[in-house]
Amino acid sequence: MASLQEVARRAKVSIATVSRVLNRSDKVVPETRAAVEQALRELDYRPSRVARRLRMNSGRAHLVGLIIPDIQNPFYAEIARGVEDAAYAAEYALLLCNSDESIDKERFYLGVMRDESVDGIVLPPFDETDAAVAEFAKTGIPIVCVDRSLAQEKTDLVEVDNYRGAREAMAHLIAKGHKQIGLIEGRSHVSTSRERRRGYLDALAGHGLPVRKELMRAGDFKQESGRVLANELLDLRKPPTALFVCNNLMTVGALAALHQRDLRVPRDVAVVGFDDLPWAEALDPPPTVVRQPAYDVGRQAMELLLKRITEPGRPPVTVRLLPELVVRRST
């Protein structure tokens, strides 16, 4: 709780000198430096990050924000962990918020970020046209998008090659002989959904398979919608023999629906999910998934943010990481 003032008094110097000892390697004669350092130790002085933040223009708060839909979703937890580790390594603290896939909550938290004068934020935008984020971008506070991209604003971005992941998933299903493949995607204005759908459609076309519109359903990334939509698909007169489900929670929901109908996976219906699941090996059956390198997404996003903070003029960069098809026993 000791302030510069008190340290200065104890060391019988001015606060300017103390500050110099702390920050700049300005000219300070060894004796006074020693005296100051002793006072610093004796009082267990620690600079107030708050006062520092108030004084500085920006970029030195050593604080960044992370806004994600839900920390309980392992995909975002993994991203968060990547961000946090990179932040810790650079001695940055992290303001974490859960937006619940709600644009209003996201807007509220963006306000908090602004009011806290964070050095920058990391987030997956609500969708491609996210007005709250676009508006926030105008403040000049650095933004790094993860997972999902923005249509208008060009910001730093770390994403995964969703198109490729979808193509691989579909190629795998098709190689297994499936011709009627159901798609359960997320909200359709989200860039990841768009890309995965494109992969789905191109894969069908590439293998000379017809597109059946009724086999394509859009949910909201949550478990319940996976369950509901899987049931809808299975109620079709000509139901799909395989499901391509576009995120982890919806995959769990879809599997639950299959389970409840006593359908055997993969014999009756095969399933490929997007996003890996924790302890996938312990699941019944272990699901085949397109694994995203979520930890790296988070880590690299934070590193990009740090770069932008120190070098604001740098043109925005897009990092695209590769997903990986992990074949297990649901296909």
Partner DNA sequence: TTGTACGCGTTATCAC
Partner DNA sequence: GTGATAACGCGTACAA
For a second copy, the binding residues (CB under 8 A) are 1, 46-51, 53-54, 63, 70-72, 74, 77-78, 80-81, 84-85, 88, 93-98, 105, 109, 111-112, 114-117, 139, 252, 255-256, 259, 277-279, 281-285
Judged by beta carbon, residue 59 or residue 316, the one nearer DNA is 59
Judged by beta carbon, residue 114 or residue 176, the one nearer DNA is 114
Q: Is 218 helix (H, G, I), strand (E, B) or coil?
A: strand
What is the rounded CA–CA span in Å between residue 115 and residue 121?
Answer: 13
Judged by beta carbon, residue 53 or residue 198, the one nearer a second copy is 53
Judged by beta carbon, residue 163 or residue 221, the one nearer a second copy is 221
| Strand duo 143-146 + 270-274: pairing | unpaired
The site partner of 28 among a second copy, DNA, none (C-beta below 5 to 8 Å per kind) is DNA
Buried b (16+ CB within 10 A) or exposed e, 67-101: bbbbeebbbbbbbbebbbebbeeeebebeebbbeb
Query: Is 91 a residue that touches DNA (CB under 7 A)?
Result: no
Whole-number minimum distance, CB 66 to DNA, in Å? 24
The site partner of 131 among a second copy, DNA, none (C-beta below 5 to 8 Å per kind) is none
**What is the total residue count of the chain?**
331
The site partner of 255 among DNA, a second copy, none (C-beta below 5 to 8 Å per kind) is a second copy
What is the rounded CA–CA span in Å between residue 202 and residue 236?
Answer: 23
Burial of 198 (0-12, 13-18, 19+ CB in 10 A): middle
Whole-number minimum distance, CB 229 to DNA, in Å? 47
The site partner of 72 among a second copy, DNA, none (C-beta below 5 to 8 Å per kind) is a second copy
What is the rounded CA–CA span in Å between residue 60 and residue 115?
Answer: 15
What is the rounded CA–CA span in Å between residue 112 and residue 256?
Answer: 38
Judged by beta carbon, residue 89 or residue 236, the one nearer a second copy is 89
What is the rounded CA–CA span in Å between residue 75 and residue 221?
Answer: 12
What is the rounded CA–CA span in Å between residue 290 and residue 312?
Answer: 35
Query: Is 93 a residue that touches DNA (CB under 7 A)?
Result: no
Query: Is 19 a residue that touches DNA (CB under 7 A)?
Result: yes
Beta-carbon count within 10 A of 323 CB: 22
Whole-number minimum distance, CB 118 to DNA, in Å? 15
Which pair of tokens denotes residue 14?
A: 């001015």
In the complex, the residues that contact DNA under the rule CB under 7 A are 1, 3-5, 12-17, 19-20, 22-24, 26-29, 31-33, 45-48, 51-52, 54-56
